[in-house]
């Protein structure tokens, strides 16, 4: 019996374009937002507050408050697509600005939150900072 091992071929590793990385990061971020909001419904008093027309720290449920919240949550969803189709120069700037903005939103909303929200919030901060990182480090074309 031989103890000699044959080397197995290396696993294939393809280079993932930065646009696809950014799109995937925005999609991951959206999943964390959705789960955070969904799990928040299970906190005692939240559903009762909603039934009484209150939006937590935002106050009364109004068309303006709902529109603002919808816009805040729609942007990351739209960025999944826009990260794939915008021109690189615009794409880079938009991802840097929005990545920093959503990092700030999470930092503002986390103090005093329940453990599940802090857990998801930390993940969201890491994801949004990765968006900024990949956008800042966007590869340049080599001009011959």
- pLDDT of the residue at 104: 97
Total-model pTM? 0.88
Token pair of 20 as six digits: 């696809």
Residue 143 φ then ψ, to 5°: -95, 120
| Domain segments of the chain as ranges | 18-136
Rounded Cα distance between 25 and 31, Å, is 10
- pLDDT of the residue at 66: 94
Residue pLDDT tens, the chain, 144 long: 555 667 888 999 999 999 999 999 999 999 999 999 999 999 999 999 999 999 888 899 999 999 999 999 999 999 999 999 999 999 999 999 999 999 999 999 999 999 999 999 999 999 999 999 999 999 998 877
Q: Is residue 141 helix, strand or coil?
A: coil
């Amino acid at each position: 019996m031989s103890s000699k091992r044959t080397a197995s071929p290396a696993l294939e590793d393809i280079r993932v374009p930065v646009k696809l990385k950014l799109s995937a990061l925005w999609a991951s971020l959206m999943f964390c937002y959705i789960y955070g909001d969904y799990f928040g419904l299970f906190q005692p008093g939240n559903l009762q507050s909603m039934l009484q027309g209150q939006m937590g720290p935002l106050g009364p449920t109004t068309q303006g408050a709902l529109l603002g919240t919808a816009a805040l949550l729609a942007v990351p969803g739209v960025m999944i697509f826009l990260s794939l189709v915008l021109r690189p120069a615009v794409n880079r700037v938009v991802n840097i600005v929005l990545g920093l903005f959503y990092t700030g939103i999470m930092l503002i909303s986390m103090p005093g939150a329940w453990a599940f929200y802090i857990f998801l919030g930390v993940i969201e901060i890491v994801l949004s900072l990765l968006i900024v990182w990949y956008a800042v480090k966007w590869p340049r074309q080599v001009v011959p």
